[in-house]
Structure 1
Amino acid sequence: MKILVIGDIVVPCELLVEAAHTIAGDREHTVEAVEWPCESRQEFQHRSLNLEKNGPTAEKVPDEAYQEIADADILLTHFCPVPADLIAAGRKLTLIGTCRGGMEHVDVAAATERNIPVVHCIRNAECTSDFAIGLMFAETRNIARAHAAIKQGNWRKDYVNSGYTTSMCEMTLGVVGLGHIGKLVARKGAGIGMKKVIAYDPFVSQESLDAAGLPVTLVSQEELFRTADIVSLHMRLTPETKNSIGREQLGWMKPTAYLINTSRAGVMDKDALVEALRNKTIGGAALDVFWDEPVPAGDPLLELDNLTMTPHTAGNVVDALPKSPLLLARVILDYWATGKSDMVVNLRNLK
């Protein structure tokens, strides 16, 4: 067995090599390491954002990777792009693993055509779900706005939502997307005593939620947006989900309801959101992800008084990145042992 790892400045090769040895176990194997070079974290952030926006062909793959993948059985990476031509060069490839949640850097369709499982891990699921709950409190109770006002010398008491501010126990939480993070948010929402937790996910059954002991009721997308007092988005960005939360969905929301997004900005129609917040057809919103990062001067989002913003920090905890390769290794070993996993993104389409 040959395992090719491609590390970078954020998740270095040595961590992926350790994960590769864990995956191989007692099997005879070799591990080859290639680096996706970035001079600085700033360059890495620029290139990774380009991949998130424009897909796996947007950035160059190291030439060495094409040579080493020719006889590799497994490819493990963090953020190095995995375009169709790299997959095609891996004639023996049987599995692709990436130690992050987003899949924008991998041509999953090309892997599926070759019947190659693509495995990922949600390295920051707990901290992102914590953050989503935190944004709910911050937006509904004006915590960040109050802090900013005091710093500016204002003892502010009145806000856009002053006429309908209430406690979490009076609110229904609607979770859109019941992946790993979505399920954690749903469980934590129930745990803090929210009135009810409902969810929309066409790929999840009520039976599976009941069997897992998750206190969530599945509803249609329209019912969720019409019913929920807080709508929290936890969707992957795919061609099908891009701009899928738009004027229609926001138009279903109550004028006192809030929208939270810690997933990907691209799942939302920006113009529709700005319009809804300006016209106060929804109560407010909180965003940790944006269409342009950092948010540029003059962006209409900066003018809104019913919007809480944080600089894409929901997943930023000190131990998430170093632990992610071994987490990916455990996910792969579990998949091999059971033949099933929520972390195999193309499992439904494999032959």
Structure 2
Amino acid sequence: MKIVVVGDALVSSATLIDAAKQINFPDKGEVQIKTFEWFSDLKKEQFQEKILLIEKNGPEAVDIPAGILEEIVDADYLLVHIAPVSKKMIEAAQQLKLIGTCRGGLEHLALESIKAKNIPLIHVIRNAEPVADFTIGLMYAETRNIARAHNAIKNGEWRKGFSNDPYKTVLANHTVGLLGLGYIGKLVVKRLNGLGVKVIAYDPFVDMAKIKAEGLDVTLHDLNTVVSQADILSLHMRLSPETENMINKDIINQMKPGSYIINTARAGVLHKGDLIEALQNKRIAGAALDVSWVEPIEPGDPLLSLDNITLTTHIAGDTIDAIPRAPYLLKTVLNDYFRTGVSDMLIKL
């Protein structure tokens, strides 16, 4: 059995190898692990530039590790963090039985090529808990003007009035609507349940019986119902051709005047121009975004002139333990998959 492991600047190959040795692969016999590095020597800020290239343009937009095409030919398993799994790599692989990636986003993977070869793909939401926490934090920050008050004080102003004053209330008086009820979405529901907040959701791919079996108090509706009933619309869907610019003028115009948009998913699911227009015209009360269409946000961007938006620097999942422990989370998920043959983390392509 041959395993190809690709480390990077955030998840070392040594950690991936250690996790791999704890995986109960169904194959028997001698184990060979071939290791590669993908810009592992870059500092975090420099490596972030590579990540942004992948997130915007996919795995073909960056270099793959030298020599990997030759080694992947007879590999049985491929384990990566965010290193690209390109079309050439998949085409070269002759007996790949599974790909494991220890992150939630799939932009670094040539999904069509993986689908064409019917290779099982397992991922893990390594920062699901931090993102869920941060999502709740943005709800408080935007609806209660926490960041705006702080910014005013720093600029010498003791500000007491805000554009959302007609709508201010406690979180428990809001109905939160989630678009996407995957792993992160369910963690957000769990937190909102604990806070006594009514939760509704839209996700055409979830099994409501399974959601209920997990003890989550959430009601599924069609998209238009969720959008029109939610006081806070929180986005948790993957970016795909089907979801790109999904939240546009038509959707926003169905929202309540006192409602908010929270986005800790991907910027591309939200139509930038339509959001800016809605905020400028006070069509909705506000928005909070941890993701942007261009990162860093460029000087002069219309987002920076808005007084009814909270912006953060794509840090929702950035905690000291989320990324380092990701290979071990992948290990646990793979062991369950090999034992049972099923997994919520198996991507349906």
Q: Give the alignment's TM-score, normalised by structure 2.
A: 0.97
What's the offset of the Cα at 1:135? 0.3
Instruction: Give SS of 1:33's match.
Output: strand
Q: Does 1:184 align with 2:187?
A: yes
What's the offset of the Cα at 1:24? 4.3
Asked whether the equivalents of residues 177 and 233 of structure 1 are also in contact (C-alpha less than 8 Å), the reply is yes
2: CA distance, partners of 1:274 / 1:252: 16
Partner residue in 1 for 2:18 = 18
What's the offset of the Cα at 1:239? 1.6
Asked whether the equivalents of residues 233 and 262 of structure 1 are also in contact (C-alpha less than 8 Å), the reply is yes
Unpaired segments ≥5 residues, structure 1:
none
Partner residue in 1 for 2:77 = 74
- Cα 1:24–1:333 change in 2 (3 A) is closer
Asked whether the equivalents of residues 76 and 96 of structure 2 are also in contact (C-alpha less than 8 Å), the reply is yes
Instruction: Give SS of 1:321's match.
Output: coil
Amino acid across the alignment from 1:66: L
Asked whether the equivalents of residues 197 and 216 of structure 1 are also in contact (C-alpha less than 8 Å), the reply is yes
Partner residue in 2 for 1:107 = 110
What's the offset of the Cα at 1:242? 1.1
Partner residue in 1 for 2:205 = 203
What's the offset of the Cα at 1:193? 1.4
Partner residue in 1 for 2:226 = 224
Q: How does 1:236-275 map to 2 (within 5 A)?
A: 236-275=238-277
What's the offset of the Cα at 1:168? 1.1
2: CA distance, partners of 1:80 / 1:291: 22
Residues 255-281 of structure 1: CA deviation (Å, up to 9, x unaligned): 100000001101111001101111111
Equivalent of 1:46 in 45, 49, 65: 49
Bigger drift between 203-212 and 282-291 goes to: 203-212
1: CA distance, partners of 2:153 / 2:46: 36
Instruction: Give SS of 2:274's match.
Output: helix
Partner residue in 2 for 1:130 = 133
Amino acid across the alignment from 2:247: I
Residues 13-49 of structure 1: CA deviation (Å, up to 9, x unaligned): 1011112111246943111100012533222111110
2: CA distance, partners of 1:25 / 1:228: 45
Partner residue in 2 for 1:323 = 325
Bigger drift between 175-184 and 16-25 goes to: 16-25
Asked whether the equivalents of residues 25 and 335 of structure 2 are also in contact (C-alpha less than 8 Å), the reply is no
Asked whether the equivalents of residues 193 and 216 of structure 2 are also in contact (C-alpha less than 8 Å), the reply is no
2: CA distance, partners of 1:338 / 1:175: 30
Amino acid across the alignment from 2:284: I
Partner residue in 1 for 2:162 = 159
2: CA distance, partners of 1:205 / 1:115: 24
Amino acid across the alignment from 1:293: E
Amino acid across the alignment from 1:255: P
Instruction: Give SS of 1:63's match.
Output: coil
1: CA distance, partners of 2:113 / 2:23: 24
Percent identical across equivalent pairs?
51
1: CA distance, partners of 2:144 / 2:310: 11
1: CA distance, partners of 2:238 / 2:209: 23
2: CA distance, partners of 1:145 / 1:248: 28
Partner residue in 2 for 1:5 = 5
Q: Does 1:83 align with 2:90?
A: no
2: CA distance, partners of 1:201 / 1:16: 33
Q: Does 1:235 align with 2:234?
A: no
Q: Would you say how many aligned residue pairs link Structure 1 and Structure 2?
A: 346
Bigger drift between 154-163 and 26-35 goes to: 26-35
Q: How much is the aligned-residue C-alpha RMSD, in angstroms?
A: 1.2
2: CA distance, partners of 1:79 / 1:326: 15
Unpaired segments ≥5 residues, structure 2:
none
Amino acid across the alignment from 1:342: D
Instruction: Give SS of 2:205's match.
Output: coil
2: CA distance, partners of 1:68 / 1:21: 19
Residues 56-79 of structure 1: CA deviation (Å, up to 9, x unaligned): 100011121111111110000111
Asked whether the equivalents of residues 108 and 118 of structure 1 are also in contact (C-alpha less than 8 Å), the reply is no
Asked whether the equivalents of residues 140 and 146 of structure 2 are also in contact (C-alpha less than 8 Å), the reply is yes
Amino acid across the alignment from 1:21: K
Q: How does 1:290-309 map to 2 (within 5 A)?
A: 290-309=292-311
Q: Does 1:310 align with 2:312?
A: yes
Amino acid across the alignment from 1:158: G
Bigger drift between 218-227 and 111-120 goes to: 111-120
What's the offset of the Cα at 1:110? 1.0
Asked whether the equivalents of residues 149 and 159 of structure 2 are also in contact (C-alpha less than 8 Å), the reply is yes
